[in-house]
Amino acid sequence: MTTDFNSFFQFAITVDNVIFGFDGQDLKVLLMKRGEIPYMDDWALPGHFVKQEEDLTSAAGRILEELTGLKSVYLEQVKTFGKASRHPMGRVMTVAYYSLININDFEIKPAFIAKKATWFKVSDVLKTPLAFDHKDILIACIDRLKVKVKTQPIGFELLPNKFTLTELKQLYESVLQHQLDKRNFRKKILSMKILIDLQESQEGVAHRPAKLYSFDSERYNRLIEDGLHFDISYPAMQA
């Protein structure tokens, strides 16, 4: 009975993290070139084994921090992948997370430069093979992000504190893979009253500078209490 019970304790758990960034044009994901077997030299999601005494959530945060130096960023669990055959070296389940970071804050930690951590356009990565079942994991995270970004104000996590409405629109378009109508997008976002008009403008651009805004999370929370329905649905705003 006891030995029977113990026989179950032979799994390993990893956390794999789909780190999304946005460079003003495209949605990007951070991949690492594997330096060990299996899948040596293939591109893979950053991930690690969970340690014996470590909470799952802590493990996800640790990976992100070790790699990027960033703490307290947006991090969400998506799905656990547990096919018996998914890891050639044993029974390893992986819990997939995705995180949203401001790509400008980001700086790869020296320890990882050797492992070649690189940003890829999401649209490109979908065409190239990845280690393990990481392609499936990536797709699951993209799908989750698409759903979530429409109904939760998480898109702002990918932008600098100060941003223009054009940048925000570009972000939504690259996540949702859909063109949006400029005027309707502005109208909708501004009508929610969740942005602070910073009374500042872009500088150094070769055209009329755009106004800068920031996301007012306190106000957002108050409005949600009052029944605000955050919803950026692209069928509603096709260009």
Partner DNA sequence: ATACTTAGTGTACACTGTACGCATTCTTTA
Partner DNA sequence: TAAAGAATGCGTACAGTGTACACTAAGTAT
Residues that bind its own copies in the complex, under the rule CB under 8 A: 5, 7-13, 49-57, 59, 77, 79-84, 89-91, 93, 95, 227, 229, 235
Nearer to DNA, 40 or 190 (CB): 190
The rounded distance, in Å, linking the Cα atoms of 160 and 166 is 13
Taking the CA atoms of the chain, what radius of gyration do you get in angstroms?
A: 20
- Report CA-CA distances (Å) from 226 to 214, 215, 216, 231: 21, 18, 16, 15
Residue whose CB is less far from its own copies, 90 or 204: 90
Site for DNA in 79-138 (CB under 7 A): none
Sheet holding 27-33, edge to edge: 43-44, 27-33, 117-121
Q: Is 192 in the site for DNA (CB under 7 A)?
A: no
Query: Is 165 among the residues that bind DNA (CB under 7 A)?
Result: yes
Q: Is residue 158 a contact partner of residue 18, using CB atoms and an 8 Å limit? A: no
Q: Minimum Å distance from CB 237 to DNA?
A: 5
Residue 115's binding partner out of DNA, its own copies, none, with CB under 5 to 8 Å set by partner kind: none
Is residue 176 part of the contact set for DNA (CB under 7 A)?
Answer: no
Q: Which does 237 bind (CB under 5 to 8 A by kind): its own copies, DNA, none?
A: DNA
Show contacts with DNA in window 205-224 (CB under 7 A).
205-211
Please state the separation of Cα 175 from the chain's center in Å.
10
Q: How far is the CB of 60 from its own copies (least distance, A)?
A: 10
CB nearer DNA, residue 144 or residue 211: 211
Contact 137, 17 (CB under 8 A): no
- Shortest spacing between CB 213 and DNA, in angstroms: 9
> Which one of residues 56, 166, 189, 223 is an interface residue with DNA (CB under 7 A)?
166
Please calculate the CA angle 203-191-177 and round it to the nearest 5 degrees: 70
d(CA 224, CA 194): 10
Contact by Cβ (8 Å): 104, 144? no
β partners of residue 195: 215
Interaction mask 41-70, DNA, x per CB under 7 A? ------------------------------
* Residue placing its CB nearer to DNA in the complex, 90 or 227: 227
Count of chain residues binding DNA (CB under 7 A): 24
Please report, as a single letter, which amino acid is at residue 225. Answer: E
The entry of DNA, its own copies, none near residue 207 (CB within 5 to 8 angstroms by kind) is DNA
d(CA 14, CA 217) in angstroms, rounded, equals 33
Crossing angle, helix 165-176 and helix 134-151, to 10 degrees? Answer: 130
Which residues contribute to the site for DNA (CB under 7 A)? Answer: 164-166, 181-184, 186-188, 201, 205-211, 231, 233, 235-238
